[in-house]
């Protein structure tokens, strides 16, 4: 928890070079609250320009909502090496944007995120999004990428609580 009694806010990030989901959640006294979420959709054709757009837009989100920590989904193995490389570069841009704002970044495997919310590490995106809505007590009004980002933030807050209870954090 931070020292001002307002709990902690975490940004979850679902990396992607064409769509990057983000979601900010605040936890205070064990209660989760949705602050904001969205999807960054760079319009540029050139890959380097898309990465620049993602960096700038994510920096604006970080400045606006001032999260204290970030949770980001690890890159899963792709059958297509080029797709995996592009995803890794987009993920690196997101990590760099957080690091530039002095926000610690914690990585989570997609299966851990899904399991922490649904009990099933292979859950469908619709199941994950449904649980995110339940845990935040809001109707689902976000796209899959934002839902995955919110799931990463919730997973992080769950792991943070668990580590605190077990003396690991």
Distance CA 17, CA 53 (A): 10
DSSP state of 77: P
Catalytic residues: 14, 73, 145
CATH code for position 48: 3.30.420.10
Question: What pLDDT does 2 receive?
Answer: 44
C-alpha distances out from residue 104 to 7, 19, 67, Å: 16, 22, 10
Domain that holds residue 103: 8-166
Distance CA 145, CA 73 (A): 11
Structural domain count of the chain: 1
Q: What is the pLDDT of residues 28-68, one digit of tens each?
A: 988 999 999 999 999 999 999 999 999 999 999 999 999 99
Question: What pLDDT does 12 receive?
Answer: 98
C-alpha neighbours within 13 Å on the C-beta side of residue 97 = 30
Confidence at 169, pLDDT banded by 50, 70, 90: low
Say if 3 falls within a structural domain: no
């Amino acid at each position: 928890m931070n020292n001002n009694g307002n709990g902690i806010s975490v940004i979850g990030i679902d990396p992607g070079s064409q769509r990057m989901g983000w979601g900010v959640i605040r936890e205070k006294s064990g209660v989760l609250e949705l602050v904001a979420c969205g999807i960054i959709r760079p319009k540029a054709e050139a890959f380097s320009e898309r990465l620049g757009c993602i960096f700038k837009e994510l920096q604006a989100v970080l400045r606006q909502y001032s999260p204290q920590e970030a949770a980001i989904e690890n890159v899963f193995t792709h059958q297509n090496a080029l797709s995996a490389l592009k995803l890794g570069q987009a993920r690196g841009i997101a990590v760099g944007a957080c690091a530039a704002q002095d926000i610690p970044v914690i990585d989570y495997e997609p299966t851990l995120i899904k399991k922490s919310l649904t009990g099933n590490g292979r859950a469908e995106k619709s199941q994950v999004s449904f649980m995110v809505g339940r845990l935040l007590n809001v109707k689902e009004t976000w796209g899959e990428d934002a839902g995955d980002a919110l799931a990463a933030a919730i997973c992080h807050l769950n792991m943070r609580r668990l580590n605190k209870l077990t003396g690991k954090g």
